[in-house]
Amino acid sequence: MVKTVEFCEIVPRNFQYSIETDECDEHTNTSRSQSTMGGSNKRRGISAVIAARGAATTADDDDRPVQRRSSEWIKAVFLFFYLFIAGVSNWAVIAYTHDFVPREPLPDVIFSLVEEQRWASSLGDFCVALCIVLLAALLVIHQHRGTILKRVVFCAATLYAMRSITLAVTQLPSAYTENASRCRDRVTPRFSVFLSRLIEQTIRIGFQSKDSMLCGDLLFSGHSLVMVTCSLAIAYYLPRSIKPLQWIAHISCAIGMICMIISRTHYTIDVIIAYWLSNMVFRLYHAFCELDVCMERQKSILNSWWPCRIIDWLEENIVPGRLENRVQWPLAAWRRRRENSNELRNSGSSSESSTCETSHNHQTHHKHVSIYFLANFLGYLWNSLVWLTL
């Protein structure tokens, strides 16, 4: 019996993104796609896919790039407030729980082996700053800097939202050997005191003085989640030509986490949980958004996790699959967008010529697609005949 092979499987994965997805789904999953995708997730043609990558589109799709840009602004505002609210919630919890946190440190295996190293706290802060600078440098040179920034911000905001919950439900005492002198005095809880602490933390973006600090900012490590998320993004999105530079971020992250423990800024469990959760959120995000174009995200088990509903909305204009890591300077990207806007403006003023060019481009495109599919179909028949004769 001849083995039945779906038509989508004989088409290379990268080629699926350059053709209209309707051609692939009509052979395999027409009825199932119509029932699950819904009106908000209608399949886009080749021009919409090109627009999602930031390339020029034809004149008949002039309205689509405008819609895409407006929706991206809405997503940017959402991510800004999501990160801001997640950060403020952390600082609010610390400002409130400081007066209830015990002062006697808990036992820790590393603390029993290594004495407190106060100098390591400053080195840990430097490692955090270095990871952020390296990520910022990557965003400057990467072609898809906007998409990377959007993904990193969502992962960081989600982790900080989780952290605010763990800080609120369980208050761990600080791990310093001199908690009485390092922590601020306890006072009677008042709203004015809480508000002044919250404003101070917001202005300092969470950083505190080493000698007079709000204690209880422990489970789990905010320093570690920032370093791990940055190092994962740098390793994942670095172009191949400069891939070895990822080890700078990895080594900085490892040293920073060690410094957080030996300086007793955090317990060992704080760093371990931060490492696990940062890896989980980062990898689940990319595992969900990189599903192949013939697979349905709504069928995935990840779709039942509430952040994936937001991820699906954030990634609606991004072609499924892993991004191509290319170097592109911001000035070159700005010139490219400007040229594309000029081409769209010129094409709008001459509708007759643009219509002819559009029809010619569509004919050429369908011609190449037909030749490609014919060649693959003939190759598939030949392989089937050879398999039957064996």
Catalytically active residues, by annotation: 223, 266, 270
| Structure tokens that stand for 267 in this block | 């317990």
* Furthest-apart CA atoms within the chain: distance in Å: 88
Q: Report the distance separating Cα 358 and Cα 69, nearest Å.
A: 23
User: Are the C-beta atoms of 123 and 259 separated by less than 8 Å?
Assistant: yes
Q: Report the distance separating Cα 252 and Cα 350, nearest Å.
A: 56
> Residue 161 forms beta bridges with which residues?
none
Closest C-alpha among 96, 217, 107 to residue 163: 217
User: Are the C-beta atoms of 123 and 255 separated by less than 8 Å?
Assistant: yes
321 sits in the region (left: phi over 0; alpha: psi -120 to 50; else beta) called left
Q: Dihedral of CA 191/86/123/172: which sign?
A: positive
Q: Report the distance separating Cα 274 and Cα 282, nearest Å.
A: 12
Non-local (6+) Cβ contacts of 155 within 8 A are 229, 278, 281, 282, 285
Closest C-alpha among 124, 132, 311, 154 to residue 234: 132
CA 194 to chain CA mean position, Å: 33
User: Are the C-beta atoms of 131 and 252 separated by less than 8 Å?
Assistant: yes
Non-local (6+) Cβ contacts of 104 within 8 A are 173, 179
Closest C-alpha among 312, 299, 304 to residue 33: 299
Q: Report the distance separating Cα 275 and Cα 270, nearest Å.
A: 9
Q: Report the distance separating Cα 11 and Cα 9, nearest Å.
A: 5
Non-local (6+) Cβ contacts of 8 within 8 A are 16, 24, 27, 28, 294
